[in-house]
A and B are shown apart, each in its own frame.
Chain A
Amino acid sequence: MKRILAALAATLLCASGGAAFAPPGVDQAVVESDAMPPKLSAFGLFRGNDPGRPSTGIAYTLRASLFSDYTEKHRFIAIPAGKKAKVGSDGVIDFPVGTVLVKSFGWNDVGGGRLIETRLLIHRASGWVALPYIWDADGKDATLALGGRRVPVTFKSPDGETHSIRYAVPNKNQCKECHSLNGEIVPIGPKARNFILDPAAADAVRSRYFENPAALKPTMPIWDDPATGSVADRARAYLDVNCAHCHNPAGSASNSGLFLRWTDDPTGVNYGIGKRPTAAGRGSGGMDFAIAPGDPAHSFMIYRLESTDPGIAMPEVGRSTVHKEGAALLRQWIAEMPKGGQKAL
């Protein structure tokens, strides 16, 4: 009986695809090779190479997402047939070899919402590889930009202010600077506490891509939604997503001794409370502490977040604009800490 049903389903699927229009699919051979194709279309990730129409996979969003100059981000995962991702007991998602995480960037008010770039994070047998593609002027394909590029854009942030920046598409190495754990590339955003699978997707679809989709329990506060957590909780979520990919003991900023993961002790000196600058240079802004409780004006964490000067700004890569709203949240968090005390919460 089951076999008959399966055969029937297969027939239906073929019929819906239409014999004359065999659905385009991901070229798994390219995905799993060592290739760095000069054109994004080589992967077959989009229908008709339209970045709005993934050829496969499932869309996802994040509870808290990294600030990238107010870009809109569109994400999906492609996982090869017959394989599934699995959520580990520690909340880390294990994606099988052959998985592609696809993230596209653009602004609604730039080029009519046309996407600027698409970044791929590909899980190959040799490990994760990050490849940045910039969409061509005609929007028909995107071209590999291993060395990164600056793209001049003018856009409005949510507060109505106009920004004219030279948006930085990261180079391949810069992708790794953020996506690095002990020198190896890893995904940053997809953790059970932060990961939201397309809510419109049916359970059957979710189960197609995840062995245990119910284990995806996105509980992390949304930094700009007070209903999801206290100021301190939301500030910590913001730091986790915007800083902790480098600021952890195995990340690119391990030598700083400043560790900002959701799981780090938020009262400790290694969380920045009363922590003196390490290798900060001009980033200290003449201040003694990363976080001076009760005194955001003398907390150089704020100074660095509110700067766009490359010798001062944090994060070091990935933004040419100040995230005013994020900085305001952190200001409020620090201002509400008892002055002089070393307790953050």
Chain B
Amino acid sequence: MRFNGFHAAALGVLAVLGASPATAKTISVSATTPDANEKLQEALILAEPGDVVQLGAGVWTLTDGLSLDVAGVTVRGAGAGEGGSILDFTGQQGAGEGLLVTSDDVLLTNFAVLNTKGDGIKSKGADRIVYHQLRVEWTAGPKETNGAYGIYPVESTDVLVDSVYVRGASDAGIYVGQSKNIIVRDSIATENVAGIEIENSYNADVHDNIATKNTGGILVFDLPSLPMQGGHNVRVFENIVNDNSTPNFAPKGNIVASVPTGTGVLVMANRNVEIFDNVFADNGTANVMIVGYRYEHKDPNYQPLPRDIVVRGNQHGKAGYAPKFPGGDMIAAAMGGAIPPVLWDGAGDAVVLDKVGVLSLNLPDVKTPQSEAKPAPADLSKGTPPAALPAITLPESMEAKVK
């Protein structure tokens, strides 16, 4: 027995050694080092798989965007709040984002990125990326001159956004685009145009987040003429989506500039989207909006209709009292001051099992202009919902990084 016990202990040691390569090291960089921008960038270039780039506490005054292209690296700060590691890009002179990650298996944790000119943190083609306990913020609050996206993974497989805080993005606070297998959870998105947006992506769980004081809380979109489209299988559940009342401040031309102020969850041209067990309140246009893509497009492969959308088990507080889509105020007046909490443009199909009213604009053909809307209550409770979607699971190596 003793022999066996010893043997097991020895194996345990070996296992630990195996988990962290002997060469893995921590590269510490101080915020106050001369040429901190260049030194930090050098550290990110010289890091090797398994290494940790440790950001010192303090405010980093940065003029150029940073980038990481080495797989398996962790970038770890001393915290995302006051006294933590604050990457301040207020004086940024170059690059389209504050930090760009283009390698796989990267963990970003415990730091803040402030006031970037473009996007906050972008990762492209970066599989199994983990964003954890980060803050991305434009500190002056909503302004059209703020950068577009706060946290911006794109073209990636296996994405985890966990416990982040994003404020002030002039497009989406947390934006996941053209990606597969995604979890966005336990995060706060406030005072962005879109709080959280899942776009042209497959298989996503968005849960236990707070989306408040944005123009629109949580968006699930599919757009034409992009390399990856046909967005589907998205579950939005157990989120708090309230008081999304910030006037839309997106630069015109961008799709989110069309999101009406006061939108809770908005589904546009996706299939198999489940919206359940959320808490909605104080969304002046609608708690849930389901629409087709109603712009002209020339993409024969694009499917502009929302299909197989399910809304169930949600709590609905006050909604629909200030609908900010064209003609909305008149419809609200005609309906006694507010429209129902669920708004559908009449295109595609949806099942709404919540015991609240649904207003249809009765525009089944996306080519019909909105001016021809024939708003009327609709009963969407009779349809058969499609089979429930499975929960998203990510590789254990990713979950282990946030434990």
- Number of contacting residues on B, CB 8 A? 55
Q: Which residues from B are CB-within-8-Å of A147?
A: 37-42, 45
B226 CB to closest chain A CB, in angstroms?
Answer: 4
Q: Which of A95-103, A156-164, A270-278 lies on the face that meets chain B?
A: A270-278
A256 CB to closest chain B CB, in angstroms?
Answer: 8
The answer, yes or no, to whether B223 is at the interface (CB within 8 Å) is yes
The answer, yes or no, to whether A146 is at the interface (CB within 8 Å) is yes
CA distance A168 to B228 in the complex (A): 33
- Contact (A282, B155) CB under 8 Å given A171-B45, A310-B117: no
Q: Which residues from A are CB-within-8-Å of B94?
A: 168, 310, 316-317, 320
> Which of B64, B152, B177 meets A168, CB within 8 Å?
B64
Binary contact track B127-160/A, C-beta < 8 Å → 1, others 0: 0000000000000000011011100101100000
CA distance A99 to B40 in the complex (A): 30
Contact status B124-A252, CB under 8 Å: yes
Contact status B227-A255, CB under 8 Å: yes
> Which of A176, A252, A257, A286 meets B253, CB within 8 Å?
A286
The answer, yes or no, to whether A311 is at the interface (CB within 8 Å) is yes
> Which of B96, B100, B299 meets A310, CB within 8 Å?
B96
- Contact (A286, B64) CB under 8 Å given A147-B42, A274-B298, A342-B298: no
Contact status A282-B144, CB under 8 Å: yes
The answer, yes or no, to whether A94 is at the interface (CB within 8 Å) is no
> Which of A149, A249, A278 meets B223, CB within 8 Å?
A278
A249 CB to closest chain B CB, in angstroms?
Answer: 6
The answer, yes or no, to whether A279 is at the interface (CB within 8 Å) is yes
- Number of contacting residues on A, CB 8 A? 46
Q: Which residue of A lies closest to B171 (CB)?
A: A281
Contact status A269-B299, CB under 8 Å: yes
CA distance A280 to B152 in the complex (A): 12
Q: Which residues from A are CB-within-8-Å of B297?
A: 269
Q: Which residues from A are CB-within-8-Å of B178?
A: 255
The answer, yes or no, to whether B354 is at the interface (CB within 8 Å) is no
CA distance A150 to B63 in the complex (A): 9
CA distance A317 to B41 in the complex (A): 15
State which residues 171-228 of B face A: CB under 8 Å. 171, 175, 177-178, 223, 225-228
Binary contact track B66-93/A, C-beta < 8 Å → 1, others 0: 0111000000000000000000000011
Q: Which residues from A are CB-within-8-Å of B69?
A: 173, 176
B367 CB to closest chain A CB, in angstroms?
Answer: 16
Contacts from A to B (Cβ < 8 Å): 145-150, 166, 168, 171-174, 176-177, 183, 249, 252, 254-255, 257, 269-270, 274-289, 300, 309-311, 316-317, 320, 342
Contacts from B to A (Cβ < 8 Å): 37-42, 44-46, 63-65, 67-69, 92-96, 100, 102, 116-119, 124-125, 144-145, 147-149, 152, 154-155, 170-171, 175, 177-178, 223, 225-228, 251-255, 295, 297-299
In the A-B complex, list the 5 residue pairs whose CB atoms are closest, starting with the nearest: A281-B148, A284-B253, A147-B41, A311-B117, A147-B42
